[in-house]
Structure 1
Amino acid sequence: MKKQKISKLPVVLSSLITICSCSNLIEVPPPQNQLEAEIVFSDSSSAVTALTSVYSYFSTSVHGASKHLALYVDDYVYTSSSTPILEFSQSKLSVNNSNNESLWSNLFFIIYQCNSILENIDSESTISLLFKQRLTSEAKFLRAYAYFYLINLYENIPLILTTDVSENSVVRQSEPQLVYEQITKDLLDAKKGLAEEYDGNDKVRANRWAAAALLSRVYLFQEQWQLAEQQASEIINSKIYSLTSSLDEVFLANSKEAILQFWTQNGYISDAAQIIPSSSSNIPTYTLNPALYEAFDISDKRRASWINTNTIISGDETASYHYLFKYKNRTNNTTKTEYLMALRLSEQYLTRAEARAHQNNLIGALDDINTIRTRAGLSIFQSSGAIAEYLEEIIHERRLEFFGEWGHRFMDLKRIGKLDEIIGSTKSTWRNGLSDVFPIPQNEIIYNRNLRQNNGY
C-alpha cells in the first residue's frame, strides 16, 4: 500500500493516527476514507466519489452518537454496562471517553475532507465551472454541518479551514462567535451555489433548501429571529415539501417531508440493531425515559407510530420497555427502504413558530404550532396569550417531534438555558454550569499543547 507522511494528516485527528499507526511512527497507511488530491480531483466522477464519502461519514460514523446524546439528557435510559456509554447516561464524561473522542475526531475528519475538496477543486481544468460550484457548495454545507455540532457540544474549538499541518499543529481555540460566523458564511455560500433540484432521484445530496434549513437552525440558535423566520418561510412557501399524513412514512427514503437524508446501503440505518431489539422478549439496550413516554398524550399519533414496546415477564413481575421506532427496519428492506433523516420540514414549522413568538407574532406562531399538533392528531393549542406559554409549548413539541434525533433535546435545552434546571433536577451526577459542555478529548490536548481543556474536566 502506498505510504504517506503523517504531516499530511490533520492534527485534530490524532486518534485516527493512533488507530492507523504501527511501530514505525514516521509513515502510516492512508486511512480508507483519506482524500488524495492527485487521485480525487483527476475527473468529475472521482470528485463525486470523494464528496459522497463525506456524506457517508455522517450516516455511518457521526450519527451513532445520537443515541449517546439522547442518553446524556432525558430521552433514553441505558440498560447495559459499557463504561463509556454509562458515562453518557450519567452526564459525566471523562476526558478519555472513547465515544466522545470518536465523535470529536469524526466531525473534524469531515471538516478536513471538506477543506481538502475546497483547496483542490479550483485548480482542476478538467472539471466544469458549474460542477466545481456545486461540489464547492456541498463541501461548505457539510463543513458547516460538522462545525454546528462541534460548537454546540464543545463550545471551545479550533476553527480549521486548511489542511496545512504546520498551521493545524499549533492552532488555538476560536471564539464561539467566530465559528458561528464561519458556519453562517459557509451556509450562505452553499445556498447561493446550490440548485433547488436534487442531484439524482434521491434527496441524499444537499440542495438549496437543505442549506436554508440548516441556516434557519443556525439563526434560531443565535436568536436572530427575523432571519430564522425568513429561511424557514422560504422552505415552507416553496411547496416542494409537505408533512406526510402517515407518520409511518416520515422516515422512508425520499419521504415528502425530507429535505435532506443520508443514503443507506441496505435500507436501514447503521445502528438499527442497537436501537431495535432482535425480538419482543429482549430488553432494549436504549429504552425511552419513562418521563418522555408519559409526556405524550394518549391520542398522540407519534406515540403510536414512533414508539414500540416490549413487555417482559420475569417471575411474578411484568415490565414494559418502550423504545424508538421511527425507523422500523433492522435488516435489509427494499420494499420500504429507509434513509437516515438529517433535515425535515417539521423542524421548519417549529423554528418559524419560535421565531414568530419572539417577534410577538403570536397568531403566526399559533398557526405553525397547530400545524404540527394537527398532524399528530392532537387538539389545537390554547393559550392565554403570554409569549412564555407559546415558547414552552414549542419546546414541548420539539421534544416529542425530535426525540432520539441528532441531539436535538440536549441542544434545545442548552440554548434556552434549561439544562441545569431540567436535567440537573433528575440526575444526581449532573454538574450545574459544567455538564452543558463536553470535554475536549485528552489525546487532542496532548497532541496540541495550545488547546485548553473545558472547565470542570
Structure 2
Amino acid sequence: MKKHSNKFMAILLTTVMLFSCNDYLDFEPENTLPGEEFFVNPEQAEQSIVAIYGYMRAWEMVGFAPMILQEITTDNTVKGSSLGDAAYINDFNFFNYTPDLFVINDYWTGRYRGINLANQALSNIPKITMDESRKARLIAEAKFARALFYFDLVRAFGDISLPTTVENTFEESLLRRPKAEAYALIIQDLKDAIAVLPPQYGPGEIGRATVWSARGLLAKVYLYQEQWDLVLEQTSAIISSGQFGLLEDFYQVFRIENENSVESIFEIQAQAVAGNADLSNSQYSQVQGVRGTNGFGWGFNIPTDDLANAFDAAGDTERKNATLLYKGVTTPDGDRIEGVGENELEGITGLPRYNGKSYVPRKHQIAGVTEGSEQNIRVLRYSEVLLIDAEAKVSKGDVGGAATSLNEVRKRASLSEITSPTLQDIWNERRLELALENDRFFDLVRTGQAPAVLGPLGFVAGKHEVFPIPQRAIDANRETMTQNFGY
C-alpha cells in the first residue's frame, strides 16, 4: 500500500525538483556532466539514483510514446479522443508511420536520457567515499534501471546504440550495436543487480528496485530469448520465495490503495502534490482518462471491440469490467462514467469506453495538478511472472507445471482450469491479463503472431517487427547510423 509520508517519496520529489530546476542531469545523451561539479558526497550519490526513479515517470517514459508504440499498434486499442486530435497517432494504428515522427524520437531519446542518468551514476559513484555496502546497492539500482531502459529500446528498434560509461557516450551514440550485444549487457546488469539488491525495504524506501524486481525482469528478458531453463531459474526463485501473491479482486490491483502490494514486482512511483504541477508530473493516467463530461483526462488509447470480444469469448467478465471502462457504468469507487457521446471517440462506433487500468477515481483527483498523477505505473506484476513461468514450462514439455501457474491467474479471474494448456492458451491469457499495460505489440512480435493478427491493419512481415530509427539520430551521423530495413 502506498505510504504518502514515506522517506523515499519525499527524497524523490525533492530530488526531481532539484534536477528540474538546475538541469544537473537533464541533457542530451552526447553531453556529459563533470563529476567534480556534483558527484562529491554520499548525499549526491543518493540523489543521482533517486533522480533516475523520478525520471521514469517523465512524459517520454509514460506518456504518448509507450502508449502509441506498444498498444495502439495492436488489436487492443485505437487512437480515441476527438476527430483530428493528434491525427498522426492513426499512422501507428495502420503502420503508416515514418522515421521523422516526433513520438518515435521521444521513445528513443527518452530512454537514452534515462540510460545517461544511469551511466552518470555508474561512472561517478564508485569514486565517492561512502559506506561500501550502500555504494554497492546504489550501483545495483542504477544497473537495474539501465537494463529496464535498454530492454525497451532493443525490443522496439533491434540493433541500438550502446553507451555504457560517461567516457564512451559520445562515440557510442553515433553507432548501432547488434541486439545480441544489447541483450548481453542487459543480462549482465541484471545479474549484477541480483547479487546486491535486497529482498525488501523498510517503510522509508518502499518502491525501490529489489532483488525480485531484477529477477522478474531477467526472467522476462530470457523469455524473449527463449532460454527456458534460465527463465525458470528466475521464476522459480520468485514463486518459491513466498513473498508474492495475487490480490483477490482484479479491479483493486490498479487502485492507489493497493500500490506496492503483494502483487507488485516493480512499479514506477508517482504522487500528486497539491499546488505543485511540476512535481505532479506523471501524465500516464491523464492521456488515457475519461474525456468529456465529468472526465478525468484526454481520452486516448481506447479499447477496441476486438479486445472486448476476446474477453467475452473467454467468459472473462471480471477482467473485462476492470479493463474496459464503459460510458454509463458506476465504478466500485462510486464514479459514474459519462464522458462523450456515442461516435465521438475517433475509431470507436457505439458505446464509448476507456482504459480502466489507468482510471483514477475522483476522490484521488487533486485540483491544480495533472489528472491522475497520484497513480503509480505497474511495470511488472506477479501474475505476469506466473504466466512467464507457464510459458517456459509448456515450452519444455512440463504441461502439468504450466497448468499450475496458468490456473492460479485464471482462478483470480473466476475462470475454469485448463488442465493441458498450449502455448496459444498462455498467449491468450497474457492478452487478457496484461491488456493495456503496454506489452501487446512486443508479445505479438516475439511469438510470431504479428503477421496474422496485425496484417489486416497494415503490418508487413520483415519490416514492422521493429520501428524506424528516428530521423534525427540518422541525420546526426549518416556514415555510421543505419536505418532499419524498409524505412
Q: TM-score scaled by structure 2? A: 0.81
2:324 to 299, 307, 322: 307
1:212 equivalent in structure 2: 215
2:433 corresponds to which of 391, 401, 404: 401
User: Any conservation in 2 of the 1:250–1:256 contact (CA below 8 Å)?
Assistant: no
Q: 1:361 to 1:314 in 2, by over 3 A?
A: closer
Query: What's 2:29 paired with?
Result: 10
| Aligned partner letter, 1:435 | H
Alignment of 1:253-332 (within 5 A): 253-266=259-272, 270-279=283-292, 284-297=299-312, 298-310=315-327, 312-313=341-342, 319-329=350-360
User: Cα 1:170–1:326, aligned 2, differ >3 Å: closer, same or farther?
Assistant: closer
Number of residue pairs matched?
424
Q: Distance in 1 between matches of 2:349 and 2:112?
A: 45
**CA–CA distance in structure 1, aligned partners of residues 430 and 300 of structure 2:** 24
Pick which of 269-278 and 188-197 moved more: 269-278
Q: CA deviation at 1:77?
A: 1.1
Specify the SS of the correspondent of 2:195: helix
- 1:363 aligns to 2:367 (yes or no): no
CA contact (8 A) 1:84 1:98 kept: no
Aligned pair partner of 1:225 in 228, 240, 244: 228
Is the contact made by 2:284 and 2:377 (CA closer than 8 Å) also made in structure 1?
Answer: no
- Contact kept? 2:163, 2:173, Cα under 8 Å: no
Aligned CA distance change for structure 1 residues 376 and 274 (closer, same or farther; 3 Å): same
| Paired position in structure 2 for 1:31 | none
Go from structure 1 to structure 2 and tell me whether the alpha carbon gap of 1:66 and 1:404 turns closer, same or farther (over 3 Å shift).
farther
User: Residue 423 of structure 1: SS of its match in structure 2?
Assistant: helix
Deviation at 1:114, TM superposition (A): 0.8
**Residues 365 and 275 of structure 1: CA distance in aligned 2, closer, same or farther (over 3 Å):** same
Preserved CA contact (<8 Å) 1:284 1:321: no
1:335-381 per-residue CA deviation (whole Å, 9 max, x = no partner) reads 99632111110011000000000111100001111111100111112
Q: Percent identity among equivalent residues?
A: 29
Of residues 51-60 and 158-167 in structure 1, the stretch that sits farther from structure 2 once superposed is 158-167
Q: 1:433 to 1:132 in 2, by over 3 A?
A: same
Q: Distance in 2 between matches of 1:354 and 1:345?
A: 14
2:319 partner amino acid: R
Matched residue type, 1:63: V
Partner of 2:424: 392
For residue 79 of structure 2, what is the aligned residue in structure 1?
78
Give the Å deviation of 1:243: 0.3
How far does residue 123 in structure 1 lie from its aligned partner after superposition?
Answer: 0.8
Cα distance in 1, alignment partners of residues 97 and 170 from structure 2: 29
Q: Alignment partner for residue 417 of structure 2, among 380, 392, 414?
A: 380
**Aligned-residue offset at 1:165:** 6.0
Note the alpha carbon deviations across 1:399-456, whole angstroms, 9 max, x for none. 01111113x11111111111112101x21x3222211110101111111231100011
In structure 2, the CA distance between the partners of 1:339 and 1:299, relative to structure 1 (3 Å rule), is: same
Amino acid at match of 1:257: E
**Structure 1 residues 262 and 193: CA distance shift in structure 2, 3 A:** same
Counterpart of 1:146 in 2: which secondary structure? helix
Q: What is the Cα deviation at residue 209 of structure 1? A: 0.5
Q: CA RMSD in A?
A: 2.8
Counterpart CA distance in 2 for 1:324 and 1:314 is 17
1:54-133 mapped onto 2 (5 Å cutoff): 54-61=52-59, 62-64=61-63, 65-68=65-68, 69-79=70-80, 80=82, 81=84, 82-125=86-129, 127-133=130-136
Instruction: Give the letter aligned to residue 425 of structure 2.
Output: E
Which of 448, 454, 460 lines up with 1:423 in the alignment?
Answer: 454
User: Structure 1 pair 330/48, CA: closer, same or farther in 2 (3 Å)?
Assistant: farther
Counterpart selection for 1:243 from 243, 246, 264:
246
Which is worse superposed, 47-56 or 323-332? Answer: 323-332
Secondary structure class of the residue paired with 2:469: coil
Please, which of 360, 370, 378 is the counterpart of residue 341 of structure 1? 378
TM-score, structure 1 as length reference: 0.86
Deviation per CA, 1:239-288: give whole Å up to 9, x if none. Answer: 11110001122123222201111111219952212212144687943211
Taking a change above 3 Å as real, the CA distance of residues 47 and 290 of structure 1, as seen in their structure-2 partners, is same
Moved more, 133-142 or 156-165: 156-165
CA apart distance, 1:47? 2.0
**DSSP 3-state at the match of 1:186:** helix
Q: Aligned equivalents of 1:239 and 1:3: distance in 2?
A: 42
**Structure 2 vs 1, CA of residues 183 and 319 (structure 1 numbering), >3 Å: closer, same or farther?**
same
- CA deviation vs aligned residue, 1:293-328 (integer Å, no higher than 9, x gap): 11013443111222210263579x982122211133
| AA at the equivalent of 1:339 | N
- Secondary structure (helix, strand or coil) at the match of 2:58 reads helix
**5 Å matches for 1:122-201?**
122-125=126-129, 127-164=130-167, 167-168=170-171, 171-198=174-201, 200-201=203-204
How far apart, CA to CA, are the structure 2 residues paired with 1:245 and 1:365? 21
How far is the alpha carbon of 1:332 from its aligned partner? Answer: 7.1
